[in-house]
Amino acid sequence: MLFFSYFGSHIDYMERGNDTQSSEFLLLGFSEEPELQPFLFGLFLSMYLVTVLGNLLIILAVNSDSHLHTPMYFFLANLSFVDICFTSTTVPKMLWNIQTQSKVITYAGCITQIYFFTLFVGLDNFLLTVMAYDRFVAICHPLHYTVTMNPQFCGLLLLVSWITSVLHSLLQTLMVLRLSFCTGMEIPHFFCELNQMIHLACSDTFLNDMVVYFATVLLVGGPLAGILYSYSKIVLCICRISSAQGKYKAFSTCASHLSVVSLFYCTGLGVYLSSAATPSSHSSATASVMYTVVTPMLNPFIYSLRNKDVKEVLSEFFRGKP
């Protein structure tokens, strides 16, 4: 309660107490051509509904079948929940702007988007890392898997992921709150992206840039290094398996996760390479669709189509079997 009280009062102060503070921004989105707006609305509404329904089915499947009450599926259900929240942070506002033919988002709305977007991106990052560690223990130390990945330890990993993500998101948001913005600010994006907001500020952004840089190194580079280390050990363990069937079985247990990790990090890297090359164009917004909309939409398909257990549970669910 203290945080929300401070958060709201600080936003009000920034809006009322500074004459140069912009009270609203314009989200330029993808295209200003009127004939494309119905197509964009239908496209993103369809993708959003598929994302929500697909991830809800994963959560329902994991919770409804006792065979899926394992650490791997526990983290998968949490990843699906985070993906729903992640997409819901940006897409509904974009759909509303397209439908109302308005590009306006308030300062408070922008700050809120930054907070929750940063939070759920961080959670995605940490959950993928935890899932890689889970696969490492399952393949490299199968005899100790049940003892190591016990419910208490899994809950602790999830709690640490949430606490770290919340604190990081709060830090980045408070750093943005200290900035001043001029009037008539245009964001060449479909949501208030952190780096874009920082570069639009009228005040000095050196400290903000340093915080973003070090946070990226620690909270993105660290988990990514953990994932690469886990999979390097997994590959070595698989190579030591003598039978081809054993190798295939071991690899199949982490194929879905490896696909999601590749999709998440490759699309995220593509976004920042694109924004670095052309920071003021719509190319960054278009590239961001890949990891903000497409990746959360594809995750349920990857896990359901490549995972025998999930596929069987979903098949039984749609056939109406108890």
Domain ranges of the chain: 2-319
pLDDT tens per residue, range 210-258: 999 999 999 999 999 999 999 999 999 999 888 888 888 888 888 889 9
pLDDT tens for 23-40 read 788 888 776 777 888 999
The answer to whether the CB of 154 falls within 8 A of the CB of 75 is yes
Q: What do you get for the CA distance between the two ends of the chain, in Å?
A: 43
**SS3 label, residue 154:** helix
The residue behind tokens 């989105």 is 29
CATH of domain 2-319: 1.20.1070.10
**What are 55's two structure tokens?**
């991830």
Ramachandran class of 126: left when φ > 0, alpha when ψ lies in -120 to 50, beta otherwise: alpha
As beta bridge partners, residue 187 has 27
Instruction: Give the number of other CB atoms < 10 A from CB of residue 86.
Output: 25
pLDDT under 70 in the chain at which residues? Answer: 1-22, 31, 183-184, 272-284, 306, 317, 320-322
What is the C-alpha separation between 193 and 197, in angstroms, rounded? 6
What percentage of the chain's residues is helix, strand, coil (to nearest 5)?
80, 5, 15
* Residue 223: both structure tokens together: 């988990």
Q: What is the pLDDT of residue 159?
A: 98
How far CA 243 is from CA of 107, 145, 225, 240, 297, in Å, comes to 60, 22, 30, 9, 36
pLDDT of residue 10: 47
Strands 24-27 and 104-106: antiparallel
